[in-house]
Structure 1
Amino acid sequence: MLRFRSLASGSSGNATLLEASDGLRRTRVLIDCGLGLRQLTARLAAEGLALADLDGVFITHEHGDHLGCARSLLRRHGVPVWTSAGTAQSLATPGTDAADAPQPRLVRDGQVFSIGGIEFHPFAVPHDAREPLQLRCTDGARSLGLLTDLGHVTAHALAALGGVHGLLLESNHDSELLARGNYPDFLKRRVGGSHGHLSNAQATAALTTLHHDRLSTVMAAHLSERNNRPELVRQQFAAVLGCHAADVLLAERHGACWLGV
């Protein structure tokens, strides 16, 4: 069984807990840890878990709302961390990177790797980071796609996520709200640019392409508190999914419940 739980979502922090169990073993992997160590520990404890219960962490890119306490998890708590070479540069601690210090395990676009009972297929996305990656994750029976923090949806990303059974999809901002909002112009250009974040319209277009009969779980993620409204996302996703707007799942700032894939 493959399931996931958003522990945090949005510009204040992002973390998604992924779990697979086949009856013989259980694997738990954290996708991003954009929280302080105390916050992360508390949110895991609410699930009856400790840092020692994590089999690994994958960091999608180096922005603070995703990197968070990754350095502490790797160096002080011995939790293995996987990430790209570009992102790994932000895990270095000047003057303390001795040869025997724990180092992140490096992966790149298209390099399949496994953590316990979960297989990961990383793919590159256009975002203003050094080497950002997103993921397709599978336990061999079911698959989950994660697609956040990108300025536009590429054919490469759509191909990587074709046929997934579950999808965590960024729907960051409404373009009109962003344009009318109080962000400075440079930040509006950054958020709405080709290497920024997906608008509701872009997310809906991606969902339309990826939607199929076996796509059973969809959650909208990374909603902007200033430049979006939950009801806008729900309305647009519901039109694609053929459900009531109230039934569309959102990853809230403080997380969401467990969802099976």
Structure 2
Amino acid sequence: MEEKLQVALVQSEVVWENPDANFEHFSQQLDKISKAADLILLPEMFTTGFTMHPEKIGNEYGGLTLDWMRQKAIEKKAALAGSLPFYENGSHANRLFFVLPDGNYYQYDKRHTFTLAGEDKVYKAGAERLIVSYKGFKICPMICYDLRFPVWARNTVDYDVLFYVANWPKPRIAAWDTLLKARAIENMAYCIGLNRVGTDETGLEYPGHSAVYDGLGEQLVFSMDAETRYATLHKEHLETIRKQLRFLEDRDQFTLST
């Protein structure tokens, strides 16, 4: 049987610093998913928006959001991934949870905190990449600003899918479009970017531009609207292009230190 991964990209607005309203909103969005999905992607900080004041929200909402994600993953019989402000051991992290359909989960803390907005002063940076094996695919999740740093994403472990969840604003959207495609080509992997839409309380506008690229940089999905889009990823396609074009075999060998 062919190995494939069906992905739903929930490109949506986010209610500012209001987890309860976002639980309700994204529950409705998940209920509207109209196609079979193995993996559902939600935006960066999908319960709060890109806030630099997590203390206003309440430290308990990290655990409550994880509980909500686990419940929804079980209900939808699909993996669910998105990031949120998470308080632990005296500090906050911009933490992505990759929740499996049985409720078990993996986590990744954003490595590159966005200094332009002061994220580095509020959220502790992560130090380790995450690779999740799921449905026959090796998946590497990352968050927003990580996209600008190709060394961190370099495909040294033969992953199949690289994805970014984001709050990427309109003034720099050309970089988002360009870098997503570049990450796909240089890593010979599917690359997915899931951005939000709408305007937040700081006045920043988010235009979407969620997209999916294959390992040769061909665009499979692109959206600027508040909607859920779908993509089917094929393992055989990746294996074929990697056998025909052995570019990854010529990659530089290096190790990362933090």
The interval holding the TM-score normalised by the smaller chain is: 0.3 to 0.5
Counting strand residues as a fraction of each chain, which structure ranks higher? 2
TM-score normalised over the length of structure 1 = 0.45
TM-score normalised over the length of structure 2 = 0.45
